């Protein structure tokens, strides 16, 4: 199936979106556009061939406290630049067809672009529950210290492991 990723706008109806998680549905319908306009979180919609919203991601710049990352990374003692996947969700009718991974890879493309202009060391994500956490673990995300549901993946790892799967259109 051909999908397009487009910035959220008032011309695209999101009312019927249902990923099965009330918090993620509500965010899209009630808060995503305002936060996008205010530059709190940028939301991108995956549209199917009919223009229906099949999924979405919300991304924001962030930072991670140094002590939440492994000592072995030998990082400086100040907060580390990050990009947060604040939201990632797929409509129930589209789950299990590769769209979640497509959206994750689109997030990887965005971080690679951003990191060209301003350093980003890690992508981070706050998984909504352990089931969602398992999705990110599958792609190599690692829990931050003292947290099971907040996970990170270094941008260097994304470049090394996934670059050949990005920017394919
Ligand atoms: C979790 C979610 C994003 C996955 O999207 P999806 O489109 O169903 O997943 P995909 O079809 O792209 O799956 C890609 C791969 O991840 C695996 N996968 C999907 N969901 C998974 C999960 N919860 N745990 C572990 N693996 C998972 C699939 O089996 C598939 O593996 P394969 O490539 O080896 O076949 C989607 O189910 C969803 O939106 N759920 C509700 C909201 C939510 O939990 N969002 C998470 C953000 S916090």
The ligand 1 atom at the shortest distance from the C-alpha of residue 102 is 12
- Bridge-based pairing state of the strands 122-126 and 80-90: parallel
| Rg value, the chain, Cα | 16
Q: Report the C-alpha gap between 140 and 104 in whole angstroms.
A: 12
For the stretch 46-59, pLDDT in tens is 999 999 999 999 99
Number of domains in the chain: 1
Residue 165 has what pLDDT? 86
pLDDT at residue 83 is higher than 90:
yes
Residue 125 has what pLDDT? 98
| Centre of ligand 1 from the C-alpha of residue 54, in Å | 13
For the stretch 125-145, pLDDT in tens is 999 999 999 999 999 999 999
Q: State the CATH number of the domain containing residue 87.
A: 3.40.630.30
Backbone φ and ψ of 102, nearest 5°: -60, -45
CB 42 within 8 A of CB 122: no
Most ligand 1 atoms within 8 A of CB, residue of 100, 103, 123, 130 to mutate: 100
Q: Verify whether residue 136 is a known catalytic residue.
A: yes
For ligand 1, atom 45, which residue shows the shortest CA distance? 89
- What does the pLDDT average to over 145-162? 94
93 pLDDT band, cuts 50/70/90, is very high
Residue 169 has what pLDDT? 65
- What does the pLDDT average to over 69-81? 95
Share of the chain above pLDDT 70, in %: 99
Q: Report the C-alpha gap between 43 and 56 in whole angstroms.
A: 7
For residue 140, which of 126, 161, 167, 111 has the smallest C-alpha distance?
A: 161
Would you say the CB of residue 115 lies under 6 angstroms from ligand 1?
no
C-alpha torsion angle, residues 8, 90, 105, 115 (rounded to 10): 40
Domain that residue 135 falls in: 4-165
Task: Write down the mean pLDDT value for the chain.
Answer: 96
Q: 114 vs 105, 140, 162, CA distance in Å? A: 14, 21, 16
């Amino acid at each position: 199936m051909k999908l397009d990723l487009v910035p959220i706008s008032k011309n695209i109806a999101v009312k019927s979106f249902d990923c099965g998680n009330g918090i993620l549905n509500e965010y899209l319908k009630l808060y995503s556009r305002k936060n996008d306009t205010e530059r709190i979180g940028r939301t991108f919609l995956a549209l199917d061939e009919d223009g229906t919203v099949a999924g979405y991601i919300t991304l924001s710049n962030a930072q991670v406290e140094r002590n939440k990352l492994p000592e072995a990374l030998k990082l400086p003692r100040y907060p580390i630049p990050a990009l947060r996947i604040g939201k990632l969700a797929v409509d129930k009718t589209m789950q299990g067809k590769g769209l979640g991974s497509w959206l994750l890879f689109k997030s990887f493309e965005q971080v690679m672009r951003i990191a060209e202009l301003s350093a980003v060391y890690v992508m981070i994500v706050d998984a909504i529950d352990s089931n969602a956490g398992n999705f990110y673990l599958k792609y190599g995300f690692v829990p931050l210290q003292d947290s099971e549901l907040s996970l990170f993946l270094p941008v260097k790892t994304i470049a090394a492991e996934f670059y050949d799967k990005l920017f394919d259109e």
